[in-house]
Amino acid sequence: ANLSSTTPKSAIRARRGGAQSSIRAPRFTPNTSFFNNRISADWRSSLQHRCSASRAEHSGIGRDIGPGKKPSLQCGESRVRLESGGAQGSSAGVVTSNPEPRSVGMGMSRISFELKDDLEASPSDGILTACLEGSAASISPAYNAWKAEHPCPIQQFDSLMRQAAGKLVTVFLDYDGTLTPIVSNPEAATMSESTRGVVRRLAELFPSAIVSGRSRLKVQSFVQLAELFYAGSHGMDITGPAPGATAGAATWEDQVAFQPAAAFQPVMATLCEELEEAVRPFPGAVVENNTFCLSVHFRNCDAHSFPPILGLVEAAVASRSDQLRMTRGRKVLEIRPKLEWDKGTALIHLLGCMELADAEQVFALYIGDDRTDEDAFKVLAERGLGCGILVSTHAKPTAASWSLHSPSDVVAFLEKLVTWGRSGANAWQSKRSCKGWHIAARPTAAAAMPGLPPRTPTAPTPVARTPTQG
């Protein structure tokens, strides 16, 4: 359909050098006849169903603004956003989108924004994100072409599992944006009980691991499952299941515990204090200490705050350029040691420790949503050890073979995997165990993390020793 007549036009004025952008919200009436006349009732129903979870889990679309406020784009209960390949507004490497209105007038008090290179992969012909009764879905030809190359493993589950026929399946999961929605407050990214139950059942049937940029202690406190392997700080802090959590779990001394970046912990602690003080003038900026790496979140900042925050972080890293490096994630700056170690090398380390590194016998699944997960996707593809599944609402370059739309889709896929794992098709039904793990003979009660009361997200997990490389 020709959408030129319905494309919103915004007046955007941006000044370089960190000056605040001035944005005037558009008045826009969507061409609802496009949906009424050109989309069948069945397709429209499927569109609404597919994206109801997206609205709940991705606050940037169809979000509730708050009492007494109105969305900048509205037509009754429907809202439409047009994401074009070009930036809606940019300043110093920042693309502005998803504006929220001020409480007074129609100006903008805060803008959700991303780096330009984070959006390079967006289809050049634009993506129409239509919110029908609070739902959203991408319907551009470019997105559909990308989905054809990275199909949904729920819809084509049998095709995926044929690749795993006769092999030992292992599962690796990112946390934020994969098992839980991305949220404004990093401390509020708690796992739901239903998701926890699915992951617990998964770990009874397959060796399973959480691989996160979070500190290992923090992600363990969120997940609260002792049956899992954990790799925190982008894989730089690794441990296995707690003693007694599974029938094959070893003692703490014999586990796969490994901290390749242990020597960098003091410099990270010092830098964390410096950056916390440096970003204090910028409301919404948060520095998260992940033990062996730091995360500087700018998701809740004004768009004009990003250039000075970026400058501060770059300067801090430059002064320690022999030790540290900076990378970019989803509205976050990551500071990590200059170490040849990432989520991909952590995955290979874990498979090696479990004695599951033979591509002829093993099929590993890795599910993640961030660019840091690409290292794991690439390793699996290059070594023929399995495949990656990207969680994404838009098209972008990836080494993953499959794609899911949201964390709710991840849970749905894991539920199908659990059902498959209980059948004779699961090779673990014959193999039974590997180093540090054993298939559950029957469903068991959850084992509490050592030192943690069950379901207490803030309690710490003690580490019995500091492992050394080798």
- Residues with catalytic annotation? 174
What do you get for the CA distance between the two ends of the chain, in Å?
61
138, 176, 194: which is closest to 57 by C-alpha? 176
344, 326, 343, 401: which is closest to 176 by C-alpha? 343
Give burial (CB, 10 Å; 0-12/13-18/19+) of 417: buried
Pairwise CA distance, residues 379 & 375, whole Å: 6
User: What is the residue-wise DSSP string for 413-459?
Assistant: HHHHHHHHHTSTT-THHHH-EETTEE--SS--PPPPPTT--TT-TT-
Structure tokens at 232: 């925190």
Structure tokens at 26: 């558009």
| Contacts of range 453-461, beta carbons closer than 8 Å, 24 or more positions apart | 454/224, 455/224, 456/221, 456/224, 457/190, 457/221, 457/222, 457/224, 458/221, 459/221, 460/217, 460/221, 461/216, 461/217, 461/220, 461/221
Pairwise CA distance, residues 357 & 142, whole Å: 37
Pairwise CA distance, residues 350 & 357, whole Å: 9
Pairwise CA distance, residues 318 & 342, whole Å: 21
Specify whether the CB–CB gap between 436 and 253 falls below 8 A. Answer: no
DSSP state of 90: B
Q: Is 12 helix (H, G, I), strand (E, B) or coil?
A: strand
Pairwise CA distance, residues 170 & 437, whole Å: 11
Structure tokens at 325: 């490096």
Structure tokens at 453: 């009361």
Exposure string of 320-355, with b = 16+ CB inside 10 Å and e = fewer, is beeebebeebbbbbbbbbebebbbbbbbbbbbebbe
Structure tokens at 456: 């207490």
DSSP state of 468: -
Does the CA dihedral 157-163-165-166 come out positive or negative?
negative
Largest CA distance in the chain: 67
Structure tokens at 373: 């997960």
